[in-house]
Structure 1
Amino acid sequence: MPSSKFQHQEEDSEFVQLPYEYEHNHWNFIQSTLTPLLNTHSVTKMLVLQIIGTIIANKNNKINTKAIDQFPNLLCLDHALDLFEEQYYPDDYQTEKSFVQTVMPFVASLVLNTEQFVPSKSLKYLKRGQTDTVEVSKAGAACLLANSFFCTWNRRSDEALWDIFPSINYDEMFCEHPNYRPKLAKCLMLLNYFARIHESFDSIQKNPNLKIKFTRTCLDASTLPDFSHSNLPLTAIEVHCEGSISDSPDALQMDFANKFIGGASISYGCVQEEIEFSLCPEMNVVRLICQVMLDNESILITGAEQFSLHKGYAYTLDYGGNYIDTNKDSVGNSLKETSAIDALIFNRTTALSQWQKSKIDREIIKAYVGFSHSSKQKISTGCGAFMGDKELKSLIQYVAASQARKDLIYYTFKTPALDDHLAKLVNSMRNKGVTVGQLYQALVNVISTVGSPVSTIETFKTVKNLLHL
């Protein structure tokens, strides 16, 4: 296990320690291990896998790095390199060149030249309880992700730093188990990202205005609105049965996140957050700098470009091919904005507790923080994660959005009944002039109105009765 000294350093330091700043012997080891990849004509898939395995093994102190047959199982990456080489790279990039011999040396060079694009003490942590912003150049983000690809970061996924940080190396995603199919898809998305960055890196490095911005927002109790007495009117809402949150590119897109931002995006995860972070790999830089979110915090990611498409979802996730993001400003930055908020997790035993006032307050505050700190007027969102009641979640977000003076684009994910009933309830409330405070009071009184014991709660019906609609 890594020393407690390193953990203390990551927890208390103001700035990320970059691999080139590690102790001299360790950085020398990384340099010497990656150098063979710079000789493009001798690069093979097996060499790439052996080098990644060597770095992982050396970091973990598990095996003699010369014992090739004992390297970590990198089967997903192994198969992804074959598939991308044979099926995707020739067609999508109109080239007869070898992907492994062209792009992998480039990725290795990004690691070795990290200091040029991410200078020492230029990447600060976004810590719990603080509001702050970090900007990373597009070239710098590529260098950071190249380090993640070759697993050079000292932070391991099985150490105590999980208490405050997500993992940052891709080693778990490269391995066969668990969730082989979605991990293979995500490996292909990552390879496509590096192919695209390789193709455009000359222009990227010449344009320092190409950036990704990460903003952590923390609202303390003194700055929170009094939802119960708010006289603000309810805002507009569009309800869609078909489509997904990402189908509204001009709106702020919500990421129903793990409190450890990114969740299992660089390992076995394969649902909304993990897919989004795989389609837009630059988002994963946030894993390096953001500590675990508190109940009154959100994280806003601005300018992370989408590079890939996907097919399927969860265990049926597949790579959908290359994607060209045309939604950009005059400089060339993606206009995509994503706000990450973590919802409470319920199960069959605890499901009814989500109607408790304390739980509703927590979720409204979390949504309000996530909604209110973007310049975009519309919020693209949905519901249903972590066994949350879909009717309750939709109204919680509606209260938060209305208080933040934002309009909602609400995707019900092919739930026709919710689609119809939510739209009708919203129209009735707005026509009657229901305020944010009145809707909030109705929500927190649902549980006492239906009584106990109860196995299910009809939130829309109960709210409608409480508001005399």
Structure 2
Amino acid sequence: MSKNDSSQVWSCLNQTDNSVTNKASVGETSQKPSQNDSRNNSATQQPTCSKSGAGGATNQPQPTEAGDRGATNQPSHNQSMGEGSVCNSSLNTPTSGVRSEDAYPFCKLMKLQACDMGRLSCIRDHTALIDTDYLLKGCIAPHTGKDFWDGFHVKLPHLYPQPAGHQTSHQTHHAMHSRWNVTREALKQLTRGHFSIGDVQTAIMSYNSDYKHKWTFEVLHQYAQRLEKQDNYLETVIPKMAKLALELPDLIKKGVPLLRCQHIKAVTLSQQQIACLLANAFFCTFPHRNNTKPGSEYITFPTINFSSLFGNSPKDETKVAQKAQKLRAILQYFHTVTTDDPHQPTEAKPDGVVTFERISIPNDQLPKWKNEKKLLRNLHVSSKGSIEEEGSGLLQVDFACKYIGGGVLGTGLVQEEILFLMSPELIVSRLFTEKLDHNECLRITGAQIYSSYSGYSRSFEWAGPHQDKTKRDKWRRRFRQIVAIDALEFKNPKDQWTKDNITRELNKAYVGFRRDPDTPPEHLPAIATGNWGCGAFGGDPKLKALIQLMAAAVAERDMAYFTFGNEGLAEELQNAHYHLKTNKVTVDKLYKALMDYCGQRERPDLYFFIFKKIGLQISQL
């Protein structure tokens, strides 16, 4: 990434990226991990995914994160999270037990590169922190506008107001230092090199003195002691990160809007701006973002400062080791974005832009499910592959927490957290995205993949760097689009079988899948998804699959569904879809059948119950 003065155009690019797409992989490939949306109940400093309950020393609700209920028997896979499969892929071979004539070929699913991901100027209520006129000419430069210190914008550390008595001190008659001056001096010390982890800790605590008895840094120390020799760039990357953090006033030249609840709003940043903001998050410079007590200013936002990742509370050596693996992924990201290596492939350089768009659909504009006459769309089901790797080029579903990113800065290590670690640019969404409501989602366009991984949950390990060669659109965004939708969590799985809960999940999936009104259905990328809201969240896989199929039908998108090694579910889902589609069963009939199923005292097989309700003979199946 360019290190030129940020007041000038920092990166001039070719308008057309002619790089060849290639899939890089690290290590040997084994089975894919099961990616049920599974989280445990261990307390962290992150807000909760569930609707009730409080935990942790700060009395703030906590997220449930990966643990015993969802992490058992998870096969390990060394994943590059790279470009999707092509027509001769094994994904086009039907899952065992599925007739070839029933399966829709994976290679026929519409991909992003054949679609228009949308013009930046057409996004409703959109703030671009880069100059779009320069962007179309192949250059990236910050857009200059007005700074804000209010409840509608991110409170940036360099804008922190001077203390009331900043002009003189009564005792010394010297000017009192602002918080940013203290921050700047502390980080300047780190830019000079020859530091210890203790020096990093001292720098961070110099402007966070209120937390000197609360924050600990065991994870940073363990990384330095046990893993730094393997990665061998800590001494060079920390000074560059500190320098990058200090470029904040030059890189961010206008207010960063908060994506508030029930407001349709979007923000586009350059990858360098994102890196600068994340460097500040690493050094915990963001003010007003450490207090997680009820009633605090940002209680409805995820945490963003990395203090919760550095510490070990409650004491658990296993979790320290897991967090150290997270640090490896994050430091690899910073190593990539600050490198001066002239041999870095041009197409892998982080010199593009990323768009974050909060989508909210008013209740009166949500589908009337009992009246929807849409037919099911095309479906490809596979027990092999994953959303992130084989689903590249499709609209990828993030099995999200309502607090975006879930436990990525805590101990969580399931689908969403791993996704954010492999693409750390996603973490910046926590800075400005308020928790998602029932009729909202977050759509992210253009994020880059920086790392590979193996394992899942407790067996997760960082597996090395990944060179992302995914092509870009004319706005310099990679052809990667992710939609974050949060499922309900059911402590008692029986609770999901109600009209209100099924309708809520249908609406949530529809909000995530809905197309832009100006985009014709034939130009929509298919959806890549799986067992959303299952595992520890208590969702029934057959129900959740059917809910997503119904939502996709109304949104007019095809779907690739990955069952992550569950061949039985893949076979049942493929056969059920075949018969429902062949018999032209509409969404309203499926909805009414689900409502009837909710009234059953006993729980027969869901799909057989639906077949009987719509008049299909079991012998036909």
TM-score (norm 1): 0.87
Counterpart check, 1:164 vs 2:300: yes
Seen in structure 2, the aligned counterparts of structure 1 residues 467 and 201 have a Cα distance that, compared at 3 Å, is farther
* Equivalent position amino acid for 1:216 in 2: R
Inter-partner Cα distance in structure 2 for 1:303 and 1:200: 23
Aligned to 2:264: 131
Looking at structure 2, the residues matched to 271 and 395 of structure 1 have their Cα atoms a distance apart, in angstroms, of: 23
Q: C-alpha offsets along residues 252-309 of structure 1, whole Å, 9 cap, x if unaligned?
A: 1001111111111112111111111111111011111111111000100111111011
Which residue does the alignment assign to 2:200?
Answer: 48
| Aligned 1:6-17 pairs, distance under 5 A | 13-17=151-155
Larger helix fraction of residues: 1
1:151 to 284, 309, 328: 284
| Residue 254 to residue 161, structure 1, CA distance change in 2 (3 Å) | farther
> Is the CA contact (8 Å cut-off) linking 2:542 and 2:606 kept in structure 1?
yes
Q: Verify: 1:360 aligned to 2:502, yes or no.
A: yes
Distance 1:231 1:237 in 2: 18
Q: 8 Å contact 2:272–2:351 — kept in the other structure?
A: no
Q: Give the Cα–Cα distance (whole angstroms) in 2 for the partners of residues 323 and 80 of structure 1.
A: 21
Q: State the one-letter code of the partner of 2:373.
A: N
Partner of 2:62: none
Measure the CA separation in 1 of the matches of 2:515 and 2:196: 47
Alignment CA distance shift 1:129-1:201 (3 Å): farther
Q: Is the 8 A contact 1:84 1:191 kept in 2?
A: no
Shift of 1:434: 0.9
Out of 339, 342, 345, the position equivalent to 2:489 is: 345
Letter in 1 for 2:153: F
Could you tell me whether the CA contact under 8 Å between 1:402 and 1:436 is conserved in 2?
Answer: yes
Could you tell me how far apart the structure 2 residues matched to 1:392 and 1:157 are? 39
Q: Structure 1 residue 210: deviation in Å?
A: 1.8
- In 2, the alpha carbon distance for the partners of 1:48 and 1:268 equals 22
Counterpart in 2 of 1:371?
513
| Distance in 2, Cα, partners of 1:100 & 1:232 | 55
* CA distances 1:450-469 after superposition (whole Å, capped 9, x unpaired): x22x4x55222211221222
Partner of 1:194: 334
Other structure's SS at 2:396 match: strand
CA distance in 2, matches of 1:256, 1:297: 14
CA distance in 2, matches of 1:31, 1:73: 22
2:514 is matched by which residue type in structure 1? S
Quote the Cα distance in structure 2 between the aligned partners of 1:344 and 1:130.
21
Task: Tell me if the contact between 1:239 and 1:409 (Cα under 8 Å) persists in the aligned partners.
Answer: yes
Structure 2 match to 1:415? 566
Percentage of identical aligned residues? 31
For 2:607, the aligned partner's letter is F
Assess, with a 3 A threshold, how the Cα gap between structure 1 residues 151 and 133 changes in structure 2: closer, same or farther.
same
Residue in 2 that maps onto 1:21: 159
Aligned-pair CA distance for 1:225 = 2.3
Query: Aligned-pair distance for 1:230?
Result: 1.6
Give, in whole Å, the separation in 2 of the partners of 1:437 and 1:377.
Answer: 24
Change in Cα spacing, 1:116 to 1:11, as seen in structure 2 (3 Å) is closer
Whether 1:292 and 2:435 are equivalent positions in the alignment is yes
1:382 aligns with 2:516: no
Q: Secondary structure at the match of 2:398?
A: strand
2: CA distance between counterparts of 1:300 and 1:195?
Answer: 27
Q: Which moved more, 1:368-377 or 1:382-391?
A: 368-377
The gaps in structure 2 that reach 5 residues or longer are 1-56, 59-147, 163-177, 517-522, 617-621
Q: Please identify, of 166-175 and 156-165, the stretch whose mean Cα deviation from structure 2 is larger.
A: 156-165
2:21 corresponds to: none
Structure 1 residue 235 and structure 2 residue 377: aligned?
yes
Shift of 1:157: 5.7
Alignment deviations for residues 26-58 of structure 1 (CA, whole Å, 9 cap, x no partner): 111111211111213x333442233234444x1
CA distance in 2, matches of 1:396, 1:243: 21
1:51-200 to 2 correspondence within 5 Å?
A: 51-56=203-208, 58-60=209-211, 62=212, 72-83=215-226, 85-89=228-232, 99-121=233-255, 123-154=256-287, 155-156=289-290, 158-159=292-293, 160-161=296-297, 163-177=299-313, 178=316, 179-199=319-339
TM-score normalised according to structure 2 size:
0.66
2 CA distance for matches of 1:220 and 1:209?
36
Partners of 2:451 and 2:524 lie apart in 1 by 24
- Could you say if the C-alpha distance between residues 16 and 45 of structure 1 is closer, same or farther in structure 2, counting changes exceeding 3 Å? same
Aligned with residue 454 of structure 2, among 296, 308, 311: 311
Distance in 2 separating the partners of 1:221 and 1:435: 22
RMSD of equivalent CA atoms: 2.5
Change (3 A) 1:181 1:376: farther
Q: Which moved more, 1:234-243 or 1:323-332?
A: 323-332
| Mapped contact 2:204–2:283 kept (Cα < 8 A) | yes
Change (3 A) 1:409 1:116: same
Greater displacement, 24-33 / 80-89: 80-89
Task: Identify which of 187, 191, 202 aligns with 1:38.
Answer: 191
190-199 vs 151-160, greater mean Cα deviation: 151-160
Tell me the CA shift for residue 130 of structure 1: 1.0
The 2-side partners of 1:11 and 1:257 are apart by: 29
Q: Does 1:320 align with 2:453?
A: no
Judge conservation of contact 2:387–2:530 (CA < 8 Å) in 1. Answer: yes
Please tell me whether the aligned partners of residues 265 and 359 of structure 2 are also in contact (alpha carbons under 8 angstroms).
Answer: yes
CA distance in 1, matches of 2:555, 2:254: 38
Does the 8 Å contact 2:149/2:159 carry over to 1?
A: no
Structural mapping, 1:249-288, within 5 Å: 249-288=392-431
* Amino acid corresponding to residue 174 of structure 1 in structure 2: F
Return 148-157 or 316-325, whichever deviates more: 148-157
CA distance in 2 between counterparts of 1:101 and 1:209 reads 24
Q: 1:194-241 CA distances to partner (integer Å, 9 max, x unpaired)?
A: 00001169999xx99721110011101222222212222110111111
Deviation by residue 1:371-396 (Cα, 9 ceiling, x = unmatched)? 11477421000112411011100000
Letter in 2 for 1:308: S
Q: Which letter maps to 2:184? A: Q
Across the two proteins, how many residue pairs are aligned to each other? 434
